[in-house]
Amino acid sequence: MKYLQLLLLLILQSHKVHMDSIERNQDCAWSCSEGLQCKPRAYSPLSAFHCRNQAVSSGVFNNVTLSNVLACEGRKCSLQLRIAASVNVTGDIRGVSVCADSAGMIGHCQIYTFGPVGKGKATGKQVDVQFKCVPVRPGQLVFVTLKTIPGYCKAIWTQRHLVPECSHEGIRDEITECITGKLAYTVNKARNMLTVKVTDAPENTDYNLRLCHKRNVICAGEGAQRTIKPQYLESSITLHYAKPLPCLCIEGWPARVDARRVQVCPFKNNFEELWSGITYDLNKEELIWEPLCPVKVSVSLCHADGGKSCQDLGNAFYSEGQKVMFSSVDPHPMLCTKFTTEVGEWIKCPFAKGNFSVWTAKITSKDGQQSAEISTWVKASFSISVCEMNPSSQCKQIEGNQFQTLSVDKMKPTVFNLPKSACEVCVCIKVQRVDVRFSVPVLQCDLQCSSWCHAPERSQDIEKVLFPALIILTGILAAVLFGRMTIKDGDKRRTPWTKLRCLRMNQ
């Protein structure tokens, strides 16, 4: 299909076929120059044709024009190809033949003779001929051939002509086979329902409606098809949908063979629904995303840092509707999938909810010895390192401390002892699975120390609570002190009678 479209485009560019305007209600009958009695007759395009090699001017055919016209009777119109030419009649040329062929169709051919044979009325003249119009269809590729009668090999004119598609504004609302009707709709999101109204449909014809998923040039049906009788076209039709996908469209067409179809897609900008189709195979450790609609997108795995950013873990895969699969993936709440399109970026974390992790790491303490304990439900290898938390909440590797790799068997916890100085500085352990391709590092900072060292997150939480409390307490103390000072100053300004009156009121 793409090859055919490219071929048609090249043909159009090479021959510069003009389709800007289409004339309406033009005369499509044949005619010759005034004073000549041209006689047409049909002949079969399959007839054998033998041309003569005698010398003849190559400029027999001049000013050949091919144009599209609408031949209308009332409101009913058909598309026609009008052919006109000027013929320089020399020698024994006594007529001309015209043939319009199309792939897969029998050609329309006519022969036109110039007056009685042998009288030479047309010899040495230029004869203007308009041939009888040829019926054509929208988008048809027509091969037009002009030959002399008798036929000379050097006096043959040929040209390709592409008839406008139904999308051409001059014919889309005029020709019956181009009229598709127009669709208007309203969306009821609460009930997953579309209310559709059909307008400008062909008269006296049933009309079909359905929901479909558009995939490139094909729109696959979704649910039952509805057929509307002409007398009910004024009524609204309800269609129910499962998900508001961007490729979900309403499709309508007149109920006749090879009818053109019209489509409207109510949710074409609703990309959010596409990123939900993520699945994970625990046995194969494969994360799979299969798009519900064809969309150009790059997909990558990333490590969520708790904020809005997500650090990429590897190269992105590009998809235009194909399934994307990541192999050797360690499921973890902070391992996410990043989708990037021309209109935006979305981050989805499929393991954020539910107990998907296949391993855990925790801090333990026994007799003052701080240790990290790793438990796993599958046999796995881990890298472990000790780092120091700095004021910016980043874990900086302690100088001299190297990564250590541990292999942990299924359901057999492994303990990693921390250095004796772990409680003297604020340290954490960083654990990451290394026997898979995609994994994220995990920090554990819950040291069971009696000293001041604690996790930065807790420190920040405490500050969030204490700081406002200190402000409120300071305000209360300031108000109390100010009130006492005011009372003392008031006592100094009172007279003896005022003090006595206050004393009696207090009694």
Q: What is the pLDDT of residues 63-118, one digit of tens each?
A: 999 999 988 877 778 899 999 999 888 777 888 889 998 876 777 888 888 865 44
Instruction: Indicate if the pLDDT at residue 498 is higher than 50.
Output: no
Question: What local confidence, expressed as pLDDT, does residue 202 receive?
Answer: 86
Nearest to 310 by CA among 337, 287, 342, 276: 337
Q: What is the mean pLDDT of residues 253-274?
A: 91
Question: What local confidence, expressed as pLDDT, does residue 387 receive?
Answer: 81
Asked if 100 and 134 count as a contact pair (C-beta separation under 8 A), the reply is: yes
State pTM to two decimals: 0.63
Nearest to 66 by CA among 131, 110, 153, 1: 131
Q: How many CB atoms lie within 10 A of CB 285?
A: 19
In this structure, which amino acid lies at residue 101? D
How far apart CA 500 and CA 216 sit, in angstroms, is 98
Could you tell me the CA-to-CA distances from 198 to 195, 204, 249, 407 in Å, in that order?
10, 14, 15, 67
Asked if 198 and 49 count as a contact pair (C-beta separation under 8 A), the reply is: no
How far apart CA 95 and CA 150 sit, in angstroms, is 7
Instruction: Indicate if the pLDDT at residue 300 is higher than 60.
Output: yes
* CATH number for region 30-172: 2.60.40.2160
**What CATH superfamily is the domain 179-264?**
Interleukin-17 receptor A/B, fibronectin-III-like domain 2 (2.60.40.2150)
Question: What local confidence, expressed as pLDDT, does residue 35 receive?
Answer: 64
Asked if 358 and 335 count as a contact pair (C-beta separation under 8 A), the reply is: no
Instruction: Indicate if the pLDDT at residue 278 is higher than 60.
Output: yes
3 state DSSP class of 338? strand
Question: What local confidence, expressed as pLDDT, does residue 482 receive?
Answer: 55
Question: What local confidence, expressed as pLDDT, does residue 31 receive?
Answer: 84
Architecture of the 271-348 domain: Sandwich (2.60)
3 state DSSP class of 492? helix
* CATH number for region 359-444: 2.60.40.10
**Angle at CA 482, nearest 5°, toward 476 and 485?**
145
pLDDT band at residue 390 under the 50/70/90 scheme: low
Structural tokens at position 144: 């037009």
Structural tokens at position 340: 């990037």
Q: What is the pLDDT of residues 191-211, one digit of tens each?
A: 999 999 999 888 889 999 999
Q: What is the pLDDT of residues 222-261, one digit of tens each?
A: 888 999 999 998 899 999 999 999 999 999 999 988 888 9
Percent of the chain with pLDDT over 90: 31
Would you say the CATH fold of 179-264 matches that of 30-172? Answer: yes
Q: What is the pLDDT of residues 308-331, one digit of tens each?
A: 788 999 889 999 889 999 999 999
Q: How many CB atoms lie within 10 A of CB 159?
A: 14
Q: Return the domain boundaries, the chain.
A: 30-172, 179-264, 271-348, 359-444
Q: What is the pLDDT of residues 436-485, one digit of tens each?
A: 999 998 888 777 676 545 544 444 443 444 455 556 555 666 665 555 55
Q: What is the pLDDT of residues 402-443, one digit of tens each?
A: 667 888 888 888 888 877 767 767 778 889 999 999 999 888
Instruction: Indicate if the pLDDT at residue 286 is higher than 70.
Output: yes
